[in-house]
């Protein structure tokens, strides 16, 4: 991999603790980072423990005060520089991402630009952390609301977007004056380290950003939640782990932002443009090989267009090219792990046993490893596992429905409420369905909704807080009310 990079310094085998590159853990332990397409070891990293995490938090706590005292414009300048460096190094960052995560290089490079867009956006927002002046309630009183940074933020992120999931949190945290201690997924820490290197190059003051590389999750998570110097936990991952982190944060009433699991419905009504719906379903279902929390998990198709939609989707799926993310023309990489393959197989087997039909795919791919055939299931019903659980893989289960009320009821029958999608053209129907879906995000006649300018987040057990947009700073700010008396 180093040979492929224009700037080989971005491939890092050290942790970043309190502004220093740490080649070895105190314990001497290391862990390997693997390429999921080949199984080859890319490099190894120090396996940090709670002690090193605590040191990073201590340094962040000191550095944060000076950072918060800077003007918004000063913080913006550093973030803007980081954005420029990410764009300038997008090829290298993309290659590192493809190597550790498996997604095709073009998609990986796209993720880098997407991640960078949050850094740019929040660089701009850094100058606009406005408070309020409220008319007083008594003649001698004046009321002012200040917005202040929460302090040191701890971040835990997953492997599916190794750059963007961190960038969406790092951007607003640094913009408003917080310090940031990141614990990237052990599968994909290299993208986080490369971004930290660029942040250092951009002139980010020492100690404000740490990247804790560690194979063990629970002890680091516990330290984050129990260390009083951490004032906020921001997490992207499963609802199950989100619950653990919220419980652990309860003792100190710590602020949390949670971007958790989804179970996105994708609804095709009979007045939809079917070709557009197929195109949207391809993006929403198979992007990142089905491994995103906003991927369509349940595809509901109205009975009049069910067969036609299934046929068109199968044609589109047959054009996908599975393979190593560095190979030309590849649209889809491997799944992240053997555990991911098992879950996909379990969902397919369960659906088949309960009467679903596999019309394409359904098995491991001939390439071996964790490659999997893109799959379409028809005749799917709500009794099957695919209806209630996030598959997180390339399986499109097609449910048939008749009426609007019926599909809304089914779509909302889940503990999750992150993304949803539907295709329809009748204006009244579009408005009513959009209002009735109990989701934080609704894509209408589109399968791609993520952008730095819009508020990303879920309702119900999909989480709390919003990332991106003019609302994205709120999660990293406290509100302070000043009451000036005796005037
Ligand atoms: P995913 O299926 O995306 O890996 P997880 O919720 O299991 O979702 O993991 C998301 C992130 O949370 C990963 O970085 C993982 O290492 C971390 N993680 C998992 N369990 C814990 C835990 N008990 N405490 C803290 N972090 C955890």
In DSSP notation, 459-475 reads SGGGEE--BSSTTTTGG
**51's torsion region: left (phi>0), alpha (psi -120 to 50) or beta?**
alpha
Contacts 24+ apart (CB under 8 A), 251-256: 251/225, 251/226, 252/225, 252/226, 252/228, 254/225, 254/230, 255/150, 255/231, 255/475, 256/232, 256/464, 256/465
**Whole-number pLDDT of residue 233:** 98
Mutating to test ligand 1, I would choose from 212, 224, 237 the residue with most ligand atoms within 8 A of its C-beta, which is 237
Nearest ligand 1 atom, CA 236:
10
C-beta of residue 417 within 8 angstroms of C-beta of residue 463:
no
Please tell me the distance from the alpha carbon of residue 225 to that of residue 245, in angstroms, as a whole number: 7
61 C-alpha to ligand 1 centroid (Å): 24
pLDDT at 84: 98
DSSP SS3 for 87: helix
- Rounded to the nearest angstrom, the distance between the alpha carbon of 431 and the centre of ligand 1 is 37
218: which 2 tokens? 């629970």
How far does the centroid of ligand 1 lie from the alpha carbon of residue 418, in Å? 18
* H/E run at residue 339: helix 338-353
> What is the rounded end-to-end Cα distance, in angstroms, of the chain?
67
The residues with which 32 forms a beta bridge, in sequence order, are 44
Q: In angstroms, what is the span from residue 214 Cα to ligand 1's centroid?
A: 12
Nearest-CA residue for ligand 1 atom 27 is: 217
User: Which residue is closest in CA terms to ligand 1's atom 16?
Assistant: 185
pLDDT of residue 179: 99
H or E segment at 107?
A: helix 105-125
Question: Residue 264 and residue 482: Cα distance in Å, rounded?
Answer: 43
DSSP designation for 19 = T
Give the residue, by CA position, lying nearest to ligand 1 atom 18.
217
The whole-angstrom separation of Cα 116 and Cα 124 is: 13
Atom of ligand 1 nearest to the CA of 221: 25
Q: Relative to the CA of 244, which ligand 1 atom is closest?
A: 23
Residues near ligand 1 (Cβ within 6 A): 156-158, 185-186, 217-218, 221, 237-238, 241, 244
Burial status of residue 232 (CB atoms within 10 A of its CB: 0-12, 13-18, 19 or more): buried
Ligand 1 pocket test, pick from 50, 156, 337 with the greatest ligand atom count within 8 Å of Cβ, gives 156
- Taking the centre of ligand 1 as the mean of its atom positions, its distance from the CA of residue 161, in whole angstroms, is 13
Query: Active-site positions?
Result: 259, 293
Predicted model pTM: 0.97
Q: Which residue's CA is the closest to the ligand 1 atom numbered 25?
A: 221
Tens place of pLDDT per residue across the chain (487 aa): 999 999 999 999 999 999 999 999 999 999 999 999 999 999 999 999 999 999 999 999 999 999 999 999 999 999 999 999 999 999 999 999 999 999 999 999 999 999 999 999 999 999 999 999 999 999 999 999 999 999 999 999 999 999 999 999 999 999 999 999 999 999 999 999 999 999 999 999 999 999 999 999 999 999 999 999 999 999 999 999 999 999 999 999 999 999 999 999 999 999 999 999 999 999 999 999 999 999 999 999 999 999 999 999 999 999 999 999 999 999 999 999 999 999 999 999 999 999 999 999 999 999 999 999 999 999 999 999 999 999 999 999 999 999 999 999 999 999 999 999 999 999 999 999 999 999 999 999 999 999 999 999 999 999 999 999 999 999 999 999 999 999 9
Query: Which residues, including other chains, have CB under 8 Å from residue 96's CB and lie 6 or more apart?
Result: 1, 5, 10, 11, 190, 191, 194
């Amino acid at each position: 991999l180093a040979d492929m990079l224009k700037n080989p310094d971005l491939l890092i085998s050290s942790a970043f603790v309190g502004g220093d590159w740490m080649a070895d853990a105190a314990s001497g332990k290391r862990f390997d980072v693997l390429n999921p397409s080949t199984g080859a070891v890319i490099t190894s990293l120090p396996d940090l423990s709670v002690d090193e995490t605590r040191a990073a938090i201590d340094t962040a706590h000191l550095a944060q005060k000076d950072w918060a005292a800077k003007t918004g414009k000063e913080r913006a300048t550093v973030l803007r520089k980081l954005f420029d460096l990410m764009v300038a190094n997008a090829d290298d960052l993309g290659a590192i991402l493809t190597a550790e995560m498996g997604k095709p290089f073009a998609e990986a490079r796209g993720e880098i630009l997407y991640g960078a867009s949050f850094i740019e956006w929040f660089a701009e927002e850094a100058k606009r952390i406005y408070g309020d002046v409220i008319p007083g309630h008594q003649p001698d009183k004046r009321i002012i609301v200040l917005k202040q940074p929460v302090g040191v933020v701890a971040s835990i992120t997953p492997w599916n977007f190794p750059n963007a999931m961190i960038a969406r949190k790092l951007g607003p945290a640094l913009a408003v004056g917080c310090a940031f201690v990141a614990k990237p997924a052990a599968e994909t820490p290299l993208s986080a380290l490369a971004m930290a290197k660029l942040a250092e190059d951009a002139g980010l003051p020492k100690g404000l950003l740490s990247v804790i590389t560690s194979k063990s999750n629970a002890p680091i998570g516990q330290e984050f939640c129990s260390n009083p110097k951490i004032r906020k936990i921001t997490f992207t991952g499963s609802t199950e782990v989100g619950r653990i982190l919220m419980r652990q944060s309860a003792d100190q009433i710590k602020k949390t932002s949670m971007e958790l699991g989804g179970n996105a419905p994708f609804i095709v009504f009979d007045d939809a443009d079917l070709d557009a719906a197929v195109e949207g379903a391809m993006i929403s279902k198979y992007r990142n090989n089905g491994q995103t929390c906003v991927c369509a998990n349940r595809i509901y198709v109205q009975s009049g267009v069910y067969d036609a939609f299934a046929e068109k989707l199968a044609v589109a799926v047959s054009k996908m090219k599975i393979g190593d993310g560095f190979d030309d023309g590849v649209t889809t990489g491997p799944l992240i792990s053997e555990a991911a393959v098992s879950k996909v197989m379990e969902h397919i087997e369960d659906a088949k046993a309960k009467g679903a039909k596999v019309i394409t795919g359904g098995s491991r791919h001939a390439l071996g490893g964790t490659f999997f055939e893109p799959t379409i299931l028809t005749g799917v019903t709500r009794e099957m596992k695919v209806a209630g659980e996030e598959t997180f893989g390339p399986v499109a289960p097609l449910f048939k429905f008749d009426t609007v009320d019926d599909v809304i009821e089914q779509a909302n029958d889940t503990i999750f409420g992150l993304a949803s999608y539907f295709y329809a053209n009748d204006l009244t129907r579009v408005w009513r369905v959009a209002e009735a879906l109990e989701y934080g995000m609704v894509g209408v006649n589109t399968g791609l909704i993520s952008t730095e300018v819009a508020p990303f987040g879920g309702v119900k057990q999909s989480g709390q807080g919003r990332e991106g947009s003019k609302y994205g700073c709120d999660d990293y700010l406290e509100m302070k009310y000043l009451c000036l008396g005796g005037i």
